[in-house]
Amino acid sequence: MSNVECLFKVFSKSGVIFGTYILLSPYQVLADSFTPLDPAKVVLVDWAAVIVSIIPFVGVLLAVGFYTLLERKILAIIMIRKGPSKVSYMGILQPFSDAGKLLCKEFIVPTRANVGPFILAPALMLAISLLGWLLYPYKSAEVFYVFGVILFMVITSVSVYGVMMSGWASNSKYSLLGAVRAMAQSISYEIPMGFIFFCVVLCSGVFMFQEISVFQQSLFFFFLPLCVVMLVWMLCMLAETNRAPFDFVEGESELVSGYNVEYSGGGFAVMFIAEYSSILLSSVMSAAMFFGGNEALVGFFMMVFAIFFVVVRASLPRLRYDKLMNLCWTVLLCVMLTASVCVVVLVGV
């Protein structure tokens, strides 16, 4: 019996045991309860909660498609050329055409790649990216996270694992170098990002994005006292989402395409969706933290930040990697340490 067959049998038995545990867990909860429940009132699946959880993800996928169209239109305007305009009226259906083209192409697995992680990496990246949208500052009392700020930091930290897995599993020098760059870049810029959250939480007194947004309903935006902090935040978001001028992970002139150089078809499409979903999530959180209030203001400033990502891509050239690291460790970190001390003093007074 080969090693593959042995592993398959082990995973099959583990799956049966895990599935049995999942099926029996609701009954274990009922058995352990102190008060007997009416069987007619026992609901194993709350379909309303399921629908409320699924609809935002569908909206995010549609928003990612049309955000790519917006980006191509803005880039065309800045570069004085024609953008996508052939598919439907003014190119409105161009995102669906691109998605259909990519999903219909063959998904090629390189001969020397590690097949399991290679296939799993795009799904992991998309799942982590969509998981962050659970932190959207809803006004509903049914969906909120008391420590949303900490959860956002956890999600942004874990998102680098998908890039690492894809770069390592591709078994390519270009992919691996792009993954190593992504890990170093993400770890470095999470440090000033933590100080930014410290300043915002200290000013608002809460960790919930809903409360941080509501705190600014009187039009006292955190942007006013924390303007320097917001500028550092935007630089950190450009680095965390691997956008120009910090797109060293996908440096075309150096790494062909970086960590996703070996991906094609649906795998590349899923990684593309995950990247742009993270950009939109960063825009929403930026608007909620510095220009909160009602949902109209959050939506407006979210579009401003989303357009900012595109304009920066069209305007600034790519830096050198050593300058990126020097910017983080010698400039942004010092600025945020000084800003944190100032915020502590002002809040204490």
* Contact in structure between 169 and 110 (CB atoms under 8 Å): no
Q: Please list the alpha-helical segments (H only) found in the chain.
A: 3-32, 47-78, 94-104, 115-131, 148-158, 160-169, 173-204, 209-214, 227-240, 252-255, 265-290, 295-315, 321-326, 333-348
User: Distance between CA 70 and CA 55 in Å, rounded?
Assistant: 22
User: Distance between CA 288 and CA 233 in Å, rounded?
Assistant: 13
* Contact in structure between 301 and 291 (CB atoms under 8 Å): yes
- State pLDDT tens for residues 93-109: 999 999 999 989 989 89
User: Distance between CA 270 and CA 275 in Å, rounded?
Assistant: 9
Q: Which residue has the higher pLDDT, 258 or 30?
A: 258
User: What is the band of 319 on the pLDDT scale with cuts at 50, 70, 90?
Assistant: confident
**How many other β-carbons are positioned within 10 Å of the β-carbon of residue 299?**
12
Q: How many CA atoms lie within 13 A of 1 on its CB side?
A: 7
User: What is the band of 248 on the pLDDT scale with cuts at 50, 70, 90?
Assistant: confident
For the chain, domain boundaries: 41-348
Structural tokens at position 299: 């939506």
What is the Cα Rg of the chain in Å?
23
Write the DSSP symbol of residue 89: G
Give me the pLDDT at residue 3, please. Answer: 41
Give me the pLDDT at residue 55, please. Answer: 79
Whole-angstrom CA distances from 287 to 291, 295, 300 are 5, 10, 8
Give me the pLDDT at residue 88, please. Answer: 83
Tell how far CA 58 is from the center of its chain.
Answer: 15
* Contact in structure between 306 and 73 (CB atoms under 8 Å): no
Give me the pLDDT at residue 16, please. Answer: 34
pLDDT (average), residues 246-250: 82
* Contact in structure between 189 and 236 (CB atoms under 8 Å): yes
Structural tokens at position 99: 């998605």
- State pLDDT tens for residues 138-184: 776 666 788 899 999 999 999 999 999 999 999 888 888 888 888 89
Nearest in space to 289 (alpha carbons), one of 349, 187, 199, 189: 199
Give me the pLDDT at residue 18, please. Answer: 34
pLDDT (average), residues 300-327: 92
* Contact in structure between 33 and 124 (CB atoms under 8 Å): no
- State pLDDT tens for residues 33-58: 434 444 455 455 667 767 767 777 88
Give me the pLDDT at residue 253, please. Answer: 65
Give me the pLDDT at residue 202, please. Answer: 92
DSSP string covering 5-70: HHHHHHHHHHHHHHHHHHHHHHHHHHHH-SSPPPGGG--S--HHHHHHHHHHHHHHHHHHHHHHHH
Give me the pLDDT at residue 83, please. Answer: 87
* Contact in structure between 259 and 167 (CB atoms under 8 Å): yes
Please check the confidence at residue 63 and state whether its pLDDT lies above 90: yes
- State pLDDT tens for residues 180-235: 888 899 999 999 999 999 999 999 999 999 889 888 887 778 888 899 999 999 99
- State pLDDT tens for residues 251-303: 766 666 778 889 988 999 999 999 999 999 999 999 999 998 788 888 999 99
Give me the pLDDT at residue 142, please. Answer: 63
Give me the pLDDT at residue 64, please. Answer: 94
